Structure 1
Amino acid sequence: MKIFLFVLAATILEATGDAVLRVALHHPSLPIRIALFVFGGALLTAYGTSLNLAPVEFAAVTGMYIATLFVVFQVTNYLFFRATPTLPVLVGGTLIVTGGLIVSLWR
């Protein structure tokens, strides 16, 4: 459970940082755009740092990470941009999550 929470935190930092940068790219106010770039960069730096300081080898949690990242990206995409996933994204996402579970839990 501890490892899953760590992976979840890392994926939230990554997805949120990416979303903030996407907002910054199109913001009309230059000072706000710069602030958003700095904030998004800080989130992505926190993501990269936390992932590299992980108490577990990344290869061991790759399946869990990819599956969690897919779900968190969909939630973030909806929260930031009100974009709902299409049927192909849902079907593909089901395969991603299933594959992640197989990689993570198969012993």
Structure 2
Amino acid sequence: MTRTTTTLILLAAAALEAGGDALIRVGLHTSATWPRNLMFAAAAIILFAYGWTVNSPPWDFGRLLGLYVVFFFVIAQMLSWLVFKQVPSIAVLTGGTLIVAGGVVISLAKT
């Protein structure tokens, strides 16, 4: 599997996980029953798709999931900011910088 393919799969998985989590969050704060149940059902399907996407390829689970955390962090912060209007704090940005640095170290390491 090429590096580009692996990166795209990890990005897709991160988008699915963060998106599914966001749907659950919205569903929890929705008072009407049928939209809530619809959001929970959609989130379940999306989170299953995430699990399938990230676990189907035959890759070094620990190494690539370490890189995956970077993608998840960035996408989750973008969703938090754009959907939930929660601007990341200095502490979150500082921690995120460390997460991204760790991802760079993991991705550059020779196996």
The AA in structure 2 aligned to 1:70 is F
1:63–1:101 contact (8 Å) kept in structure 2: no
Q: Specify the alignment match of 1:37 in structure 2.
A: 40
Aligned-residue RMSD, C-alpha: 1.1
SS of residue in 1 equivalent to 2:83:
helix
Residue range with higher mean Cα deviation, 45-54 or 31-40:
45-54
TM normalised by structure 2 equals: 0.91
SS of residue in 2 equivalent to 1:81:
coil
1:16–1:43 contact (8 Å) kept in structure 2: yes
CA distance in 2, matches of 1:63, 1:105: 12
Q: Which runs of 4+ in 1 moved over 3 A?
A: none
Is 2:80 the partner of 1:77? yes
Compute the displacement of 1:79 (Å). Answer: 2.3
Compute the displacement of 1:35 (Å). Answer: 0.3
Identity, % of aligned positions: 40
- Which of the numbers 50, 53, 75 marks the counterpart of 2:53? 50
Point out where structure 2 has 5 or more consecutive residues left out of the alignment: none
CA distance in 1, matches of 2:38, 2:14: 22
Is 2:14 the partner of 1:11? yes
CA distance in 2, matches of 1:15, 1:54: 20
Q: Specify the alignment match of 1:98 in structure 2.
A: 101
Compute the displacement of 1:63 (Å). Answer: 2.3
CA deviation vs aligned residue, 1:34-57 (integer Å, no higher than 9, x gap): 000001111101001111112423
